[in-house]
């Protein structure tokens, strides 16, 4: 298949309302997951946690998909954490990108996993499965999150241990970065990994770990309390539905950009 990846060619035929950006770094984690950096358009603004629509020109036609921006709003470049769907219309090709290749990006970011959609609280939970960690890679590097909350708990649940590496490396890097320490107190951030299909110290679906109270016991924190706890959730439709039900049972209410409340949700993928 013909995928147009040369920046000057793509510039010539990019659909209206799209930027053409250049890939600067690609890291493959597993046969299902990779991460890449690309240039950030001059003047492009977004809030940490939002998503944007990116695409490739395949067989002369643009193929676009929603992607959470994994970099924080202050960063010079843009990062994305992606699935590789073997026959996926976009990712069958996107997984082959190399530094120097060009990518399309629509101009308008949006999303609900943003600090503005939550009322202030003591503790922020970020519940993620698979590539659902991507928006939180952005949120945990935003100083505003540390101003708003005393404690940040990022949970990442995957099928296999190898799928946790991106999140683990990122949190380790955030905690060790001397420059970031000038802007926020990374000791407030905790990462809780769990795995469903391989042996691991913390095993099982995040919904079961919440439901049984094991998550809170492992973390040494009290059970969910609407007076103190806030949450953002990003995963499959089933994970969102089940996690939302557990939060509502604990007395938390769902918020939105125009109606901030105690938790917000966003799908990590459609379908
Ligand atoms: C708001 C939003 C944000 C998103 N952010 C990201 C992101 O940051 N990273 C990312 O990789 N994808 C993300 N997606 C999914 C993304 O839009 C595409 O679906 C994905 O890139 C695969 O595209 P495709 O054309 O290859 O296959 P598609 O035809 O889009 O998907 C084929 C099938 O693959 C499965 N699938 C798709 N995406 C995923 C995924 N991320 N994890 C597990 N299974 C999946 C689904 O079963 C889907 O039906 C997001 C989707 C939404 C709605």
Over residues 206-239, the pLDDT tens digits come to 999 999 999 999 999 999 999 999 999 999 999 9
Say if residue 271's pLDDT is above 90: no
119: Cβ contacts below 8 Å, ≥ 6 apart: 230, 255, 260, 261, 262
pLDDT computed for residue 194 by the predictor: 97
The mean predicted confidence, pLDDT, of the chain is 97
241 backbone dihedrals φ, ψ, rounded to 5°: -60, -45
Question: In the predicted model, is pLDDT for residue 70 greater than 80?
Answer: yes
Mutate to test the pocket of ligand 1, among 67, 134, 269, 271 (most ligand atoms within 8 A of CB): 269
Please state, as a whole number, how many other Cβ atoms lie within 10 Å of the Cβ of residue 85: 15
- For ligand 1, whether the C-beta of 55 sits within 6 Å is no
Radius of gyration (C-alpha) of the chain in whole angstroms: 19
| DSSP β-ladder status, 3-4 and 51-58 | antiparallel
Q: Ligand 1 pocket, 224 CB below 6 A?
A: no
The atom number, within ligand 1, closest to the CA of 271 reads 49
CB-ligand 1 contact for 32 (6 Å cutoff): no
Helix (H) or strand (E) holding 175: helix 165-176
Residue with the smallest CA separation from ligand 1 atom 29 is 88
Which domains, from first to last, does the chain contain?
Answer: 3-106 (2.40.30.10), 115-265 (3.40.50.80)
Q: What's the whole-model pTM score?
A: 0.98
Question: Is 23 within 8 Å of 37 (Cβ atoms)?
Answer: yes
Query: What span, in angstroms and rounded, lies between the C-alpha atoms of 232 and 118?
Result: 9
């Amino acid at each position: 298949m013909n995928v147009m990846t040369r920046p000057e060619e793509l510039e010539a035929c990019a659909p209206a309302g799209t930027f053409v950006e250049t890939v600067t770094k690609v890291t493959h984690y597993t046969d299902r997951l990779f991460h890449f950096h690309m240039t950030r358009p001059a003047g492009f603004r977004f809030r940490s946690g939002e998503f944007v629509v990116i695409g490739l020109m395949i067989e002369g036609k643009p193929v676009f998909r929603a992607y959470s921006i994994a970099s924080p709003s202050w960063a010079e470049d843009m990062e994305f954490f992606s699935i590789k769907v073997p026959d996926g219309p976009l990712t069958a090709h996107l997984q082959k990108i190399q530094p120097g290749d060009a990518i399309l990006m629509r101009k308008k970011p949006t999303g609900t996993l943003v600090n503005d959609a939550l009322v202030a609280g003591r503790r922020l939970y970020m519940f993620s499965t698979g590539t659902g960690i991507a928006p939180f890679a952005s949120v945990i590097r935003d100083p505003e999150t540390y101003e708003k909350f005393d404690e940040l708990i990022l949970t990442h649940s995957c099928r296999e241990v190898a799928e946790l590496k991106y999140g683990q490396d990122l949190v380790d890097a955030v905690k060790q970065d001397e420059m970031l320490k000038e802007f926020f107190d990374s000791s407030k951030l905790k990462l809780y990994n769990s795995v469903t299909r391989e042996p691991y110290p913390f095993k099982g679906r995040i919904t079961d770990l919440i439901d049984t109270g094991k998550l809170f016991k492992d973390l040494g924190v009290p059970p969910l309390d609407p007076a103190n706890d806030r949450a953002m959730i990003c995963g499959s439709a089933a994970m969102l539905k089940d996690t939302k039900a557990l939060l509502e049972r604990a007395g938390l209410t769902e918020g939105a950009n125009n109606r901030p409340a105690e938790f917000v949700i966003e799908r990590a993928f459609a379908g």
